[in-house]
Homo-oligomer: A and B are copies of this chain.
Amino acid sequence: MTITITAFERSPDRGKGLARDMRVRWALEEVDQPYDVRLLSFKAMKEPAHLALHPFGQIPTYEEGDLALFESGAIVFHIAERQPGLLPDDANARARAITWMFAALDTVEPPIFDRALVRILERDEPWYEQRLRVLEDTIRKRLSGLSTRLGDADWLDGAFSAGDLLMVTVLRRLQGSGMLEEYPNLAAYVARGEARPAYKRAFDAQLAVFTAASTG
């Protein structure tokens, strides 16, 4: 059955792989699953046809036959559950990998995403510096906990899993901030993720959309 995902027609990150379809593309590449992409303008994302698929009018969505899903975490989990390669077979190891999926999205991502938003939307506000400092303190607490747990391992719990896939995409948003480099094992962990052939294929595919939109 054909899999169709949605993505930004023109991604705000200019194709740097920070839009949330990147996670889904990467997961599909890890399990060697071909997919189609339907590109959406910001206007189309808020129209009834897309709201029927995604109640909050965002990307990505995932369609496969009768099934329609949204939320990048849920889509990555669905892919990981159906195809081997992203979740361990052992029941306890599988539950721990799923724990890292939730940790990436619920505990590590929120302050990192807020920092990115604040840098765009609140740069001219009088409180900008103070607010950034508060967020960066929270981010450092998360990075410190994560760095200690990772130690000198390659991945968070045994083999590469959907938990690592999501965590790497979350941490990448800190690139350029200098914060990742304060935790060398985390910087190396992100680089390890980005070096995976499936990551590279996914990154190139989403970058090609932006490049085509810019030159077309």
Contacts and interface: CB of A to CB of B under 8 A. Distances in A.
Nearest to A81: B95
Contacts of A57: 145
A98 B95 CA distance: 15
A212 interface: no
A99 B125 contact: no
Given A56-B107, A57-B145, A99 B127 contact: no
A69 B55 contact: no
A109 to B, nearest CB: 8
Interface in A16-47: none
B127 A56 contact: no
B70 A103 contact: yes
A119 interface: no
Interface string A137-148: 000011001101
Q: Give the number of times this chain occurs in the complex, counting copies.
A: 2
A10 interface: no
Given A56-B141, A107-B56, A130-B125, A69 B149 contact: no
A192 interface: no
A51 B147 CA distance: 12
Chain A to chain B: the 10 pairs with minimum beta-carbon distance, closest first? A55-B149, A74-B99, A71-B102, A74-B102, A127-B127, A73-B102, A55-B145, A56-B145, A67-B92, A105-B106
13 contacts: A51-B145, A56-B142, A56-B145, A57-B145, A70-B99, A71-B103, A73-B106, A74-B98, A78-B95, A78-B98, A106-B106, A114-B114, A125-B130
